[in-house]
Amino acid sequence: MGGEHIETYDAVFGDIIDEGPNYRNVGFTGTVILMLKTQLGIGVLSIPAAFNVLGMVPGVICLCAVAIITTWTNYVVGTFKIRHPEVYGIDDAGGLIFGKVGRVVLATAFCFSGILGISIGLNAVSTHGACTAIFVAISAVIGFGLASVRTLGRITWLAWIGLPCIIVAVFIVIIAVGIQDRPAAAPQIDTVWVSDYKLIGNPSFTTAITAVSSIVFAFSGTPGFFSIVSEMRNPHQYTHALLICQSTLAIIYIIIGCVIYHYCGSYVSSPALGSAGGNVKKISYGFALPGLIVTATIITHIPAKYIFVNALRGSRHLSSNTPTHWIAWFSCTFGVTTIAYIIASAIPVFDSLVSLVGSLLEKQACSGV
């Protein structure tokens, strides 16, 4: 290695040296935070509206079922990685199981899913006003800069900032809808307003599937978990971290979905931050923006890292600070961000993007293909 001191060898990244990035530097707590932030950020904003379609009881049952299925699938990700340390992404797993065709199909789906996920993040940070395109472009630039940090271990501190931001933002809306006499979209008339929430809904097949897809999207971190476990210092701690993540996530989703839907009924908004009116929406978005940008950062970093690793795997440029390394890395993050920005601008409706990703890609990925 030309006199460079080798710290350790990794089946994916090769020789990890002092002078290069340390790809294996995510601890146990950092793993939990990254798992939570990979999932809790965008999908949570559509859960109350999904409950409005399905009804509160079927909505909670559906959410718990999806949580159980994705927990099992994510558990398999960890055990598969330990048995096959050379696996970095879902395409590697597909290649081992289905051959070259499986690798190509899953690689394409993973990258497309990640890019659409970033698009939703960029769409969610906009307030859909006259300057939306400029605002989304600024968010994309910030996301590109932060996503260009080369290791998940260094991105962990962003997740520590983003996770409480999105939780605080949603709970501001919960408190607001609880103390207001009616949601912002309800008729402003001089009578006592009573929420028209339904315990059991009566949706058409199409609207029900759309709602279920939104819930699936809220648990759509499975493909990214391959990358997270690959950068853990101790992958054997993955299962413990996963159980903490999934149980915490399910509890938060149920509380947010039930409380906001209970108070807003059919007048719930999607994204949910608009349910309490314009002023509360601005305040909640002020807290949510850092969290949503961090979500976009992480789901920009993961598919960009996947492309980067596969392009340079087996060469010294993967773990060394060479010009080829830097050019390839910035090209990957810039390319992924640019395509995501184009999609976010072309499909400016939050629900449409969430349903598209949830129905087209995430059901297959989250259920183990």
Given pLDDT bands bounded at 50, 70 and 90, which one contains residue 91? confident
Confidence check: pLDDT of 128 > 70: no
C-alpha–C-alpha distance, residues 37 and 49, integer Å: 21
Supply the pLDDT for residue 251. Answer: 94
**Residues near 294 by beta carbon (within 8 Å), at least 6 away in sequence:** 37, 41, 146, 158, 159, 161, 162, 163, 165
Give tens-digit pLDDT for 39-79.
Answer: 887 678 789 989 999 999 999 999 999 999 999 999 999 99
Rounded CA separation 139/320 (Å): 30
Q: In the chain, where do the E strands start and end?
A: 6-10, 14-17
Nearest-10 crossing angle of helices 222-230, 56-83 = 30
Q: Is the pLDDT of residue 92 over 90?
A: no
Residue 144, pLDDT > 60, answer yes
> Quick one: pLDDT band at residue 214, thresholds 50, 70, 90?
confident
pTM of the model: 0.83
pLDDT of residue 32: 95
Mean pLDDT of 315-320: 86
Q: What is the pLDDT of residue 360?
A: 46
Does position 361 have pLDDT exceeding 50, yes or no?
A: no
Phi/psi of residue 17, each to 5°?
Answer: -110, 165
- Over 70: is that where the pLDDT of 88 sits? yes
Please give the helix or strand (H or E) that residue 21 lies within, else none: none
14 pairs with which residues across the strands?
10
pLDDT of residue 198: 92
Average pLDDT over residues 164-171: 88
Q: What is the 3-state secondary structure (H, E, C) of 78-126?
A: HHHHHHCCCCCCHHHHHHHHHHHHHHHHHHHHHHHHHHHHHHHHHHHCC
For residues 253 and 56, is the Cβ–Cβ distance under 8 A? no
> For residue 305, what are its two tokens?
């890292």
Q: Which amino acid is at 326?
A: W
Q: What is the mean pLDDT of residues 289-298?
A: 81
Angle at 344 between CA 341 and CA 349, to 5 degrees: 165
Enumerate residues 6+ apart whose C-beta is below 8 A from 146.
155, 158, 293, 294, 297
**Average pLDDT in the 192-199 region?**
86
Pick 180 or 121 by higher pLDDT.
180
Q: What is the pLDDT of residue 362?
A: 45
Residues contacting 26, CB < 8 A, separation 6+? 34, 152, 153, 156, 228, 231, 232, 233
Cα distances (Å, whole numbers) of residue 126 to 84, 135, 205, 320 = 41, 6, 30, 38
Instruction: Say how many residues make up the chain.
Output: 369
- Cβ proximity of 3 and 133 under 8 Å: no
What is the predicted pLDDT for the residue at 181? 79
Lowest mean pLDDT among 39-43, 118-122, 264-268, 321-325: 118-122
Can you list the alpha helix ranges (DSSP code H) found in 5-89?
Answer: 28-39, 47-54, 56-83
319 CB neighbour count, 10 Å cutoff: 25
And the tokens for 243?
A: 């159980």
